[in-house]
Every structure is written in structure tokens, then in C-alpha cells.
Structure 1
């Protein structure tokens, strides 16, 4: 959920000298450059680092400036520094200058940190004190309940928001998400459509509806919604990532790769890099680029079995079997039920001449899932390479039984040949 601050009224820019930040002091020692106004302008431009610089400069001159503290809190929030956001809003409260907006925004920051109880305390205070802001507070508190899997409580809050304000688009969006979590796609879609009908520039609503369309296999509709999301908000990393998934489903791998990397570039979305690495290995056969990409992920999150396994597969394809086995061993140590890693290691062991090890890994994968096709086919071809025709026939027949007669003419022809 992408929460938005309720921004306080922005001050008009005034007293700017050549756009610089070196103050020209009045006789009373105050700067003639309006740093608060410059900070607010930077906030509007989503340049949070610059906004932070200006608000800090304003606070150098007046440490008790509520406008500067509030603006700095918003800049910290935009930078993802929620602890600093909370600290600044708490300062405003301690100075006796808090409004309902202050408590609401602090509640958002607590929510972003997963401090649900503290967030709900602030939001409940807003609900009880400010009828105008109550719908937004209900929606955020409902989101907190949803994040804790208390879906019924979440729905109660979303409904309460809509009773107070029937045209409140965020309430429809979040209610739709809760209904989707309950498996009610029809009602979820109706709520997403209602949110978009109320606010045709609601980027997150298009994004969430796009996810639903993707889940339904309606890839063209999903693509339209993700395109619309990014037209409205080019700084929406998850939209790039999810559009990349759509492009994969549509076999447009070049576009998918670009979107996955853009998702990472936007805010270091590691899932974008994981997907990009997999594309590089499996569709572009650029195994070194895949390894380089996975290295970035593993430098940050070294205990990701799926990434270790995919890097191991890339090493295998570069004939770097030692490194492949090392990665696959690590992946299976982290997740002993990871079937793909067993299959990758089986092929690597076979390439090293370790037939028994290959059999052990294919068998281990099939013990976890007897119908796991990569392991079944891998073992069938291993049988065949060792002239174990009867065992190969059994595995190929099991494969055909899974996918259905007529689905793989090549294997069926091979089976017929083996039986004659």
C-alpha cells in the first residue's frame, strides 16, 4: 500500500537569491532565503534529499520551526527513514503544536515500520478527533489489520470509511485488496473499478487491478493497467516489476528484462534483479551476465536458496562445475525441499561423471513430488544413456500420463521406438 501524507499548506517561495543557499541575513539575523519554501518545492518535486538539506538549513536558524520540522519529517518519509520521521512528528507533539495531521502522519510512519499497535493508537486518536480526516485514518488502520491477517477487522474499517465518505477511492481500493485475499475476485474487481471511476488518475488502483488481471491470465488487460500506472507515476518500482512479468507471459523477453532492471534502478528492488538474472540465464543464454546479476543480490541477501540455485545453474552452463556444486549445496542446505536445486545438481553431477550422485538427486526431487517433470525426464534420459531401457520407458510413460496423450509427439515417438 502506497500511503500519502496529508500535506500541510505549502508556503509560497520568496526571498530566493539566485536559487542559491548562501543566506543573506537581515539586520535581525534571520535569513532572507526562505529555506522552508525551497524545501516544500523540493518535496513537490519528490527530491527528498534536497528537501532534507533545505529543512535542516531552516532548522539551523530556528530549531523550533514547526513548518521545517514537519517538512523534514515528510522528506524523511520519502527517503524511507521512518524512525527519523517518527522522531520529528514526536517533537512537534512535544512542542504542543500537533494537529490531527501530525498524528495521522506519525501513524503512517509507524505502519511503514510494521509497528501496528503504535500506528493504531495514533490513527484511533485521529478517528475520534477529526471527522474530516477519519476516513483516511480508517483506511490506514484497516491496512494495518490486513497486514496482520485480521481481514474481517480490516473490512470493518474500510466499510466505516465509506460510510463517512462514500466517494473515498482509497477505501474501495483497500477493500478490494482484502476481498482478493479472501478469494473473491469478482467483488475485488468491482471495488478496483469503483476506485478508478472515482479517481481516474489513481496509479495504485490501476496497478492493483493489473495484478488481478495478471492472476486471471488476462495479460493484455494487465499490460494496459501497468502502462497506465507508469504513465501516472514513473517512479513506481513494483509496476515495472509486474509489467516485466506480463512481458514474460507474452514472450517479450527484451521488454521484460528492461523492466526488471528498471525496477531495481528505481529503488533497489532485488526481485527485479532475481527475475532479470533468470531471464539472462534461461532465455538469453548470457550466463556470465546472469552470474553478475545474482552476485549483486547475494551480496545483500546471501541466504536466498533460489538465487544460489540459479547462479549454480549459470555456472553449470559455463562448465564451472565446482562453483555450481558449491552454490547448489548451499541452496539445499538452506532449503532441503528445493526440487529445482536437486535437478540442477543432478545434471552437474552427471557432467562430472557422478552417475550415482545424479540418480540420488533425481530420486530426491521425485520423492518430494512424484510428478515433477524436470526430474522425471532427467532421470528417464539418464536411464536411456545407460541402456536401462525398461526404466526409461517407465519414466517416459509417467511423463506422458501427466501431460496427456498427444501433448509431446517427440517423446511419444521415442517411446514407440523403445518398445519395438
Structure 2
């Protein structure tokens, strides 16, 4: 799992579990329990983290962030229904909690509830119209639904807002490829490769676009480059739909929507999980849970 930039302060505060005053020890409050729970989650002690967060919620049931943090822990334990319930509780207490909307929708998308998931990402976008992650995630859901026009529109917005992230271009290329916009697919994969020359799946999928355009030499060159980077990325001559059961499918399943990072500030910002490398649109699978 990735290490949050706020890890050191969490460690510093988390190690102090009891304070003293002139009259004796002061009982731990919700904030201190939260820091301890984050440390437990970081070290994989998920049940202990949940117990600490439950105790904190009993002390302050109005704090949306406590439910959000417990939802993250449930999700890491793959307790999806419990995670959705806690995200619901967080949203009930703070309707503008964009990260909770995003992560709830990511789980629903994983469960195949695409319409509800798309609505959740739409709410995150309504809260923050420049939320790149929400646009990208909604684009993935639309792609999964076969709504390539809407998928491309959302991924257009993602690359407009953050053109320096190769995954945005790669996912746009996937939607264009499956949507029959082959020249646009080539352009998007080319930009992804420019930003990350070692991304084998961008080369692989551009080879499929070239092949469909009749540019056989270009297709063979890209396939050879992809295999040189990752021999396991090999593919037959025709791309297979993302929902194919074919174990030899050249294009991996559409990545699941990326969750937001845990909240460490009172006014959180949405950032993708840096460990979840997206891919093909066909794509590489991304992590389905919001973890640190």
C-alpha cells in the first residue's frame, strides 16, 4: 500500500495514547482514537482499527469523518456492504463529502450497480466540478455500460483537467478504441506513451488500433515493443471485448473506479490512490478499495 504524506504526523500523534493532568490520566477522545485506528489499519490490524473507530463513533456520532474512516477499514477487509453502510452514514452527516460519494460509488460499480455508481460520481462532480478522479471513474462506469460517447466525454474532461497523467490518456484511448474512434484512440495512446514510455498496455492497445486501421507494420512494431517491456502482455491478433471470458483476451477488464485517499484534513481533497495503476479498456485492474 502507498504511504500517505501525512504518515509521520499520524505516527507522532498515534503513539501518545494517554495524557496526564494534575488530577490523573485524561481519557482518550475521538481524535486520538482515530489516529490510533489509522495506525492499526496501516499495520493490517483491521479488526482493532474497527473497534477503535466504533468506540470513537460512540463518543461523537455526529462526526462524518469517523464513519468514513471506518468505511475505509471495512473496504480494506473486503467487507463491502459494511463499507457502503458507513459511507452512507458519512454522507448523511455531510452531504458534501465528495470522497465518501466517490468511494461508495466505486464499490457499487465493482458490484455491477452501474446506474447507481454513475449517480454517485455525478454527485461528487456536482460538489467539485474539477474533480478529475470523479470524471475518470464515471467515464470507466460509462465504458463498462457500453455508453462510449459519455465515457469519452468524461475522459475528455479528465485529460483537460490533468493532461500530465498518462492513465487519463490511456483510459480515453480505451474508450475511443471500443467506441470505434480509432484515430482518436491512436492519439490518446500516443500521448500516454509519451508520458510513460514503459507502459506496455498503451503500446499493446495502440497496436490494436493500428491493426484495425490497416496499418499492419505500425501494429507489429507496437506489439513487439509491448512484449519487450512485458512479455506477459502478449495478445492474439484481434482484441477481445472487456467482458470476455476468454483467458487469452489481449485487453484486460476495464479498471474499477479508483477510490479517494483517506481524509487527513478537515477539508479533504480528492486524490487517486497512487498504487492503483489503471489500464486497458480494456485495461489493467485497479484497486477496488480506498486504502492508505
Contact 2:96–2:127 under 8 Å retained in 1 = yes
2:195 aligns with 334
Superposed CA offset, 1:45-70 (max 9, x none)? xxxxxxxxxxxxxxxxxxxxxxxxxx
Aligned residues: 235
Q: 2:63 aligns with which of 181, 202, 207?
A: 202
Q: 2:12 aligns with which of 127, 145, 153?
A: 153
Q: 2:236 aligns with which of 380, 383, 398?
A: 380
1:239 aligns with 100
Superposed CA offset, 1:182-215 (max 9, x none)? 3332332222122112222321111111112112
Contact 1:176–1:188 under 8 Å retained in 2 = yes
1:190 aligns with 51
1:276 aligns with 138
Shift of 1:299: 2.0
Partners of 1:266 and 1:159 in 2: CA distance = 38
Contact 1:154–1:178 under 8 Å retained in 2 = no
Contact 1:223–1:246 under 8 Å retained in 2 = yes
Partners of 2:5 and 2:43 in 1: CA distance = 11
Contact 2:132–2:162 under 8 Å retained in 1 = no
Superposed CA offset, 1:5-35 (max 9, x none)? xxxxxxxxxxxxxxxxxxxxxxxxxxxxxxx
Shift of 1:321: 2.0
Q: 1:312 aligns with which of 173, 176, 199?
A: 173
Structure of greater relative contact order (alpha carbons < 8 Å, 6+ residues apart): 2
- Matches for 1:232-271 after TM superposition, within 5 Å: 232-268=93-129, 269-271=131-133
- Matches for 1:5-404 after TM superposition, within 5 Å: 147-149=6-8, 151-157=10-16, 160=19, 165-268=26-129, 269-281=131-143, 283-371=144-232, 375-376=233-234, 379-381=235-237
Superposed CA offset, 1:61-115 (max 9, x none)? xxxxxxxxxxxxxxxxxxxxxxxxxxxxxxxxxxxxxxxxxxxxxxxxxxxxxxx
1:406 aligns with none
Larger Rg: 1 or 2?
1
Contact 1:161–1:171 under 8 Å retained in 2 = no
TM-score, normalised by the number of residues in structure 2: 0.71
Partners of 2:205 and 2:92 in 1: CA distance = 40
Computed over aligned residues only, the root mean square deviation of the Cα atoms, in angstroms, reads 2.7
Relative to structure 1, the CA distance from residue 360 to residue 204 in structure 2 (aligned partners, 3 Å threshold; closer, same or farther) is same
Shift of 1:330: 0.7
Structure 1 unaligned spans of 5+: 1-144, 384-394, 397-420
